[in-house]
């Protein structure tokens, strides 16, 4: 690896924490609909961040997540009143890390580690604490400060500024190709965690490194 990486920045949702781990609760509340609800909820959540950024109408990620849940439930013909809505929203604070995440992060502790996420500061504080990873990260950064969502360059600029490094010296890790592409466009060295063997998107940028798991990418980075 020719680039000298001085710090690593991780996306949170979908990369470290599994948004679809809410499917079991969705199925408990709405038997037979857990998978469909969790997947539509997640896809609409992402779409709302992009749309709000384009509209210039920022709302924080907690409100976006709730709006996406309401839409997904209505689309599937499922009631979403309290206390079911509250239980599902609270589940987002206890999302499970992907299985390899704790060991992979420990293997990478030779780097300063940081999170850059669309999540609110409070959402991130709680999910990191609940996963037992609060002593791992040097900083946990929310796009709240920029009031715009990834893949806006303003979101990635937050990480570069707070990490005190040039973009090319920062490794950015995401399981979302659009996120890796946005980070690459900004100037980060990008790593794509392609757990599902997905096809690359046609966005004009490709990741610098790709692995099927965070473990694979950790091995690449520690060999560098």
Catalytic site positions? 11
| Cβ–Cβ under 8 Å, residues 137 and 128 | yes
- Partner residues linked to 113 by β-bridges: 8
3-state secondary structure 166-179: CHHHEEEEECCHHH
Exposed, middle or buried, 199 (CB in 10 Å: 0-12/13-18/19+)?
A: exposed
Please give the Cα distance from 182 to 53 (Å, whole number).
14
Handedness of CA 178, 58, 46, 20 (dihedral sign): positive
């Amino acid at each position: 690896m020719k680039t000298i990486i001085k710090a690593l920045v991780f996306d949170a949702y979908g990369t470290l924490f599994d948004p679809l781990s809410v499917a079991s609760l969705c199925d408990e509340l709405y038997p037979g609909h857990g998978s469909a609800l969790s997947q539509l909820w997640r896809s609409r959540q992402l779409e709302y961040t992009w749309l709000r950024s384009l509209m210039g109408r920022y709302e924080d990620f907690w409100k976006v997540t709730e709006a996406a849940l309401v839409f997904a439930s209505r689309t599937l013909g499922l009631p979403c009143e309290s206390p079911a809505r509250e239980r599902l929203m609270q589940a987002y604070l206890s999302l499970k890390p992907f299985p390899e995440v704790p060991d992979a992060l420990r293997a990478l502790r030779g780097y300063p580690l940081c999170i850059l996420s669309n999540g609110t500061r409070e959402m991130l504080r709680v999910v990191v604490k609940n996963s037992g990873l609060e002593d791992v990260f040097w900083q946990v950064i929310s796009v709240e400060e920029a009031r715009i969502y990834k893949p806006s360059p303003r979101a990635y600029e937050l990480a570069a500024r707070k990490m005190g490094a040039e973009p090319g010296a920062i490794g950015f890790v995401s399981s979302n190709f659009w996120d890796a592409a946005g980070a690459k466009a900004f100037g980060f060295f990008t790593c794509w965690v392609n757990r599902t063997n997905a096809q690359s998107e046609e966005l004009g940028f490709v990741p610098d490194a790709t692995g099927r798991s965070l473990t694979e990418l950790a091995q690449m980075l520690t060999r560098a």
